[in-house]
Amino acid sequence: MAKWVYTFGDGTAEGGAGDRSLLGGKGANLAEMCNLGLPVPPGFTITTEACNWYYANGQTFPDSFEADVTAALDHIAALTGRRFGDPEKLLLVSVRSGARASMPGMMDTVLNLGLNDATVEALAADSGDARFAYDSYRRFIQMYSNVVMDLDHEAFEEILEEEKARLGHDLDTALSAAEWQHVIGLYKAKVEEELGKPFPQDPHDQLWGAIGAVFSSWMNPRAITYRRLHNIPASWGTAVNVQAMVFGNMGETSATGVAFTRNPSTGEKVLYGEFLVNAQGEDVVAGIRTPQNITEQARIAAGSDKPSLQKLMPDAFASFMAISERLENHYRDMQDLEFTIERGKLWMLQTRSGKRTAKAALKIAVDMAAEGLISKEEAVARIDPASLDQLLHPTIDPKAERNVISVGLPASPGAATGEIVFSSDEAEEMRAIGKKVILVRVETSPEDIHGMHAAEGILTARGGMTSHAAVVARGMGKPCVSGAGSLRIDYKAGTMSALGTTFRKGDIVTIDGSTGQVLKGSVAMLQPELSGDFASIMEWADAIRRMTVRTNAETPADARMARSFGAEGIGLCRTEHMFFEGERVVAMREMILSDTEKERRAALDLLLPMQRSDFLELFEIMAGLPVTIRLLDPPLHEFLPKTEEEIEEVATAMDVSVDRLRQRTETLHEFNPMLGHRGCRLAVTYPEIAEMQARAIFEAAVEAGKRTGSPVVPEIMVPLVGLKEEFDFVKARIDAVARNVMDETGVEVEYLTGTMIELPRAALRADVIAESAEFFSFGTNDLTQTTFGISRDDAASFLEVYRQKGVMEQDPFVSIDVEGVGELVRIGAEKGRGARAGIKLGICGEHGGDPASIHFCEEVGLDYISCSPFRVPIARLAAAQAAVKSARKSS
């Protein structure tokens, strides 16, 4: 028969720390603290299996359940000499939820359960403190009505505030027993008025009501949303903890508090916490009274004149400090503790691993490794890679007030403040006169590159996580919020409106690219800081990981930054991004809009020296490290001139009429540019483009080899290949140019020619393609787009609804869809290896910087991952964690 209830108390427990899935985090740790002999009020935990049974059986309880709970109440009675519902020997309990993973705010706690009109008198007599008894009773009515009977907390707060005002009291603690009695009367009347029935008086009814409420809370919308956001399966269920009450509100020798064993914001090894005298847990959180410091050291540092716990209750303080240290050593992690002191005696109510900032996480991990508490491998495993973002960009001070006007996608991390401008030219002009600006566009296009460069951050109303704005901003390391759909942008009027407020050019906003929030005005920021601890963890991670980490970079600035973040080469140089700016975009347009090969060659001649010098610089920066250069792959619409001025500019440069150019532009118009004339299709139709690029690469390689003294081995990558024939066609051109350059210069250059696998057909035919291709790089941006048939640029408008409606858990452009897109990657990798043993395999889509996707890459056995410069440290750490995980799996 299933065991639904586990008891604990007085130095023993039926469960322990290992029973987290059955007893929930709180229950397992309460049991563990008992096993350690720590002072924990006795109680019992109802298992998560009981919760699952409850849902599987039409929200009913199992047969033996009531008897089990009664037996467990007897267990508490045996240990305390008190009996639930017995006014002679009154036992009150607390009821708390506790899932396997901590889910703060899912369900509040019910304290003082068992009180009613009769037992409150017993409590008064028993404690010799009537004021305390009535205070406890009114708290219970308030909490129970709110948590179990769903009445608004505010309604009771209002009653209390009115009474305090009427009586002239500032603090709750000033109310006398009689005054609380009066408040209780008002509370009970409120309950009856709202629910049409009196407040439940039978303690057993109260208990079963609370147990049912905890179980039901598992399926409330708040909990469902929380689980969705944190990937917690509904099948885990929640446990319920029922525990004998101890009272922090039993007068001046009683108190309640919370503490972290180390500082959760800096990681410093000092106890950090606060407490309130004569109070219950919720008072600390409610912020009505200012809590006091626990240690003298903290009190002095805070300049507080209220006595510390150390001073006020030295004995309880000494036991608490000893227990804190013991728990931290036992769990080998920073603990978040809750305690109550009842008439001088300390009771522990909770311990769990404490939440911390990224900075604190690094310091704690490094310190604990130095203290010998954990290994370096464990230290590496303890850091959440995504949290490193907090350290790599200026971020909004968590203490700052946020006036949110809209929310979009967190497209590129970091925060930026500036005056809003609506065009890239304006951005440049303002920048030139020393102003900081946020570029606000409906969406961005290559014409906006100069504006994006000039701006502190980019905000768009449309576009997803792999839209132009998002990809380019990430590459630049600039904060970006994309797809903020509630913004109304009116270029003509020069306004942006949100939530009924209209913002004009020059008005200040702040964007938070880490959360997607758009805020009014400027907000206090914290600057990035690469501390020593950060470096240590990175070094330890590097020693563990198997995959190499490269970067996606095309500008020298990005390449340098990526190297400083530890990139081991370039995995993707998007050459089209090298033509977004100034003169180059005009030459690029000339090339695209040329009618004849002759015209095109003339335009290409202009582009060649620019490309060569770009590559030379990249080769020099990456001296000795691999550099993968991808041949041109622009969806053409990104480069076509749009405004009349742009058309005129290109017509003049090409010396053709505006009309002819307009006509040519119209001919090139595509309905589906993302699936149109791009990638290797461009090289097949206009081989001279690929030839120019190959020439630039080989000439630069020869020159860089001479300058650096070490030969450069370029990796040339052909994009958007579906057919082996496409690849062969382009490779033949590359090989011919290579031969020519080598003959001209008399220098032999070793090089590799490979392809991106970014179309389902390429993955399915990878064995055939690998006969010619010397490496593969999985382009999972396009592979996701083409596998799902969802446009990368238009996905944001409906994917969020998919997520909200539970149709799709994750945006597949953010975290790889392992089952579908991942399957194609797996097939591609296996087939590639089958045809060419040891073929070099990498990934360069946005997934290369996403920790969950990196775990998948490790599983498939890719050789390297490549991501935008700012994600390099995240990728290094995630790759190490993935290596540890897969080593564990195979051992």
871 lines the binding site for ligand PEP (CB under 6 A) = no
Q: How far is CA 64 from the centre of its chain?
A: 43
Q: Which of 844, 855, 857, 867 is catalytic?
A: 844
Interface pattern 787-826 for ligand PEP (x via CB under 6 A): ----------------------------------------
Residue 651 interacts with which of ligand PEP, Mg ion, none, CB < 5 to 8 Å by class: none
CA distance 207 to 446: 64
Instruction: Work out whether 550 is an interface residue with ligand PEP (CB under 6 A).
Output: no
Catalytic residue among 453, 468, 637, 847: 468
Least separation in angstroms between CB 727 and Mg ion: 15
Instruction: Tell me the window of 272-280, 539-547, 648-656, 777-785 that interacts with ligand PEP (CB under 6 A).
Output: 777-785
Least distance between ligand PEP and beta carbon 248 (Å): 57
CA distance 89 to 80: 9
- Closer residue to ligand PEP in complex, CB, 248/679: 679
User: How many whole angstroms separate alpha carbon 476 and alpha carbon 387?
Assistant: 20
Write each residue from 335 to 354 as x if it is in contact with ligand PEP (CB under 6 A), else as -, in one continuous string: --------------------
Taking the complex as a whole, the smallest distance from the CB of residue 456 to Mg ion amounts, in Å, to 28
Binder of residue 712, out of Mg ion, ligand PEP, none (CB less than 5 to 8 A by kind): none
The amino acid present at 339, given as its one-letter code, is F
d(CA 304, CA 274): 12
Binding of residue 682 to ligand PEP (CB under 6 A): no
Among 782, 793, 817, 858, binds ligand PEP (CB under 6 A): 782
β-sheet bridge partners, residue 418: 509
| Cβ count within 10 A of residue 467 | 25
User: Minimum distance between the CB of residue 475 and ligand PEP, rounded to whole angstroms?
Assistant: 10
Half-sphere exposure of 238 (CA within 13 A, CB side): 26
The residue among 43 and 571 lying less far from ligand PEP, judged by its C-beta, is 571
804 CB neighbour count, 10 Å cutoff: 11
CB of 75 to ligand PEP, least distance (A): 60
Determine which residue in the list 281, 475, 705, 779 makes contact with ligand PEP, applying CB under 6 A. Answer: 779
Can you tell me the distance from the alpha carbon of 835 to that of 837, in angstroms, rounded to the nearest whole number?
A: 6
Contact 719, 674 (CB under 8 A): no
What lies within 8 Å, CB to CB, of 535 at 6+ separation is none
What type of residue sits at position 797? S
Dihedral angle sign, alpha carbons of residues 100, 106, 111, 116: negative
- Per CB under 5 A, residues contacting Mg ion are 758, 779, 782
Output 259 or 471, the one with its CB closest to ligand PEP.
471
Candidate segments 209-217, 335-343, 384-392, 780-788, binder of ligand PEP by CB under 6 A: 780-788
Task: Say which entry of Mg ion, ligand PEP, none residue 863 contacts (CB below 5 to 8 A, set by partner kind).
Answer: none
By a kind-dependent CB cut-off of 5 to 8 A, residue 703 interacts, out of ligand PEP, Mg ion, none, with none
3-state secondary structure of 790: coil
Is 635 or 851 the residue whose CB approaches Mg ion more closely? 635
Does 578 participate in binding ligand PEP (rule CB under 6 A)? no
Minimum gap (Å) between residue 779 Cβ and Mg ion: 4
For residues 261 and 575, which CB has a smaller minimum distance to ligand PEP in the complex?
575
The contact pattern for ligand PEP, residues 592-631, with x = CB under 6 A and - = no contact, is ----------------------------------------
Stretch that binds ligand PEP, among 53-61, 377-385, 491-499, 774-782 (CB under 6 A): 774-782
758 lines the binding site for ligand PEP (CB under 6 A): yes
Helices 597-621 and 582-593 pack at an angle, to 10 degrees, of: 140
Nearer to ligand PEP, 572 or 647 (CB): 572
Based on CB atoms, which residue is closest to ligand PEP, 323 or 843? 843
| Distance of closest approach, residue 195 Cβ to ligand PEP, in angstroms | 57
Evaluate whether 64 touches 4 at the Cβ level (below 8 Å): yes
Q: Closer CB to Mg ion, residue 533 or residue 758?
A: 758
Q: Which is nearer to ligand PEP, 295 or 781 (CB)?
A: 781
Q: Can residue 873 be called a binding residue for ligand PEP (CB under 6 A)? A: no
Provide the b/e sequence for 277-305 (b: ≥16 CB within 10 Å).
Answer: bbbbbebbeeeeeebbbbbeebbeeeeee
Q: Which of 213, 284, 420, 572 binds ligand PEP (CB under 6 A)?
A: 572
Minimum Å distance from CB 764 to Mg ion?
Answer: 17
Q: Active site includes 468?
A: yes
Nearer to ligand PEP (CB atom), residue 389 or residue 633:
633
CB 615 → ligand PEP: shortest distance, Å?
Answer: 18
CA atoms of 666 and 647, how far apart (whole Å): 12
> What count of other Cβ atoms lies within 10 Å of the Cβ of residue 497?
17
Contact track, ligand PEP, 821-860, x by CB under 6 A: -----------------------xx---------------
Stretch that binds ligand PEP, among 27-35, 517-525, 775-783, 809-817 (CB under 6 A): 775-783
Binding at 558: pick from ligand PEP, Mg ion, none (beta carbon under 5-8 Å per type): none
Which amino acid is located at 566 in the chain?
G
**Residue 250 and residue 57 in contact, taking contact as beta carbons nearer than 8 Å:** no
Contact 342, 248 (CB under 8 A): yes
Question: What's the first-to-final CA gap in the chain, in angstroms?
Answer: 35
What is the DSSP track for 693-746? HHHHHHHHHHHHHHHHSS---EEEEE-S--SHHHHHHHHHHHHHHHHHHHHHH-
Query: How many angstroms separate the CA atoms of 648 and 46, rounded?
Result: 76
Round to whole Å and give the CA distance between 800 and 818: 19
- Cα torsion angle, 427, 431, 432, 433, sign: positive
Is 577 annotated as catalytic?
no
Is residue 574 part of the contact set for ligand PEP (CB under 6 A)? Answer: yes
CA 267 – CA 528 distance, rounded (Å):
17
Say what angle helices 203-217 and 130-147 make with each other, to 10 degrees. 40
**Structure tokens given for 209:** 């009501």
Give the whole-angstrom CA distance, residue 872 versus residue 538. Answer: 10
Q: How far is the CB of 59 from ligand PEP (least distance, A)?
A: 47
Pairing mode, strands 110-113 and 93-99? antiparallel
- Rounded CA-CA distance 350/258 in Å is 9
Q: Which of residues 238, 781, 853, 881 is near ligand PEP by CB under 6 A? A: 781
Residues engaged in binding ligand PEP (CB under 6 A): 572, 574, 633, 758, 779-782, 844-845
Q: Which residues are catalytic?
A: 468, 844
